[in-house]
Homo-oligomer: A and B are copies of this chain.
């Protein structure tokens, strides 16, 4: 029994992470059509734009899909109204307190999943009545936890203590890492970085190429005292690092940050001044494929690795 497939009504327990400036209706529908679960990343959208994406996604797929709502952005309340009004069946919430909106969403029959990066919030999510949790490790791209606990350490810990479906995230991009996540006790995986550079991702080609070129050691988790975020080190990051080094105040750093840095980097392709949010696993991503090709290659890779483990490491 695969609890994640059952919960969402999907073929493969592969969830495409909701990502600002990458995952609109096009990527979301493509992943759902490929047998995974696509998520519209609403963090970068105004509520009417979100609605447009929901309507377009419904036309583009008959399969289940969801919306990711990061709770740290504005528009949360109107976003939630939009998903309710447009009969979205699945919502992933992240970067905030699951206690606040879970009951509202659940009261409209919506399946609710919350993203956590530590045991405390996993417990809080369970108490809030969510249907599943995404357990996201330190290696994940974009917004991240403060404890720096990796996927390898976090998933076994939480899956032992919390008995609802667990979706592992952070460091997963291929069949091998998916099999690793399942081995750790997860019921499914959430994959961001690999889909961020898919053909259907709305990210700028400059950004996609930069991710593909990224080597081991090229990303860093920074701004831990503002909102921790993993990004590719670039000129923008160097300036942030320098300001930290010079003991500038958080307000000064926030002023330099300004607004729209992620849009600049990911959507406009400004590799020097933009915030290039991506996971550590970018070091292993080497090509731009369609969402369908990605899902299929992960499943093929997963199956052959499981066969290899059985044959060579049955112990």
Interface residues of A (CB under 8 A from B): 1-2, 12-13, 118-119, 137-139, 146-154, 156-157, 160, 170-172, 174, 176-177, 179-185, 215-217, 220-221, 247, 279-281, 283-284, 299, 302-303, 305-306, 309-310, 312-315
Is A139 within 8 A of B156, CB to CB? no
Is B150 within 8 A of A139, CB to CB? yes
Minimal beta-carbon separation of A180 from chain B (angstroms): 4
Is B180 within 8 A of A147, CB to CB? no
Q: Contact partner of A176 among B185, B217, B280, CB < 8 A?
A: B185
Identical copies in the complex: 2
Minimal beta-carbon separation of A305 from chain B (angstroms): 6
Is B216 within 8 A of A182, CB to CB? no
27 A-B pairs within 8 Å (CB atoms) are namely: A1-B312, A2-B313, A119-B283, A139-B153, A146-B217, A149-B283, A150-B150, A150-B152, A152-B171, A152-B281, A153-B280, A153-B283, A154-B216, A156-B174, A156-B177, A176-B184, A177-B183, A177-B184, A179-B180, A180-B180, A180-B181, A180-B183, A182-B313, A183-B183, A183-B305, A183-B306, A247-B247
Is A180 within 8 A of B157, CB to CB? no
Query: A2, A170, A171, A309: which has the most chain B beta carbons within 10 Å?
Result: A171
Is B309 within 8 A of A183, CB to CB? yes
Shortest 7 CB-CB contacts between residues of A and residues of B: A152-B171, A147-B217, A180-B180, A179-B183, A180-B183, A150-B150, A153-B280
Minimal beta-carbon separation of A169 from chain B (angstroms): 11
Q: Contact partner of A157 among B149, B284, B302, B303, CB < 8 A?
A: B284
Is A152 within 8 A of B172, CB to CB? yes
Residue of B nearest to A3 (CB): B312
* C-alpha gap A281/B185 in the complex (Å): 15
Minimal beta-carbon separation of A313 from chain B (angstroms): 5
Is A302 within 8 A of B284, CB to CB? no
Is A150 within 8 A of B138, CB to CB? yes
Which residues of chain B have C-beta atoms less than 8 A from A313's C-beta? 2, 13, 182
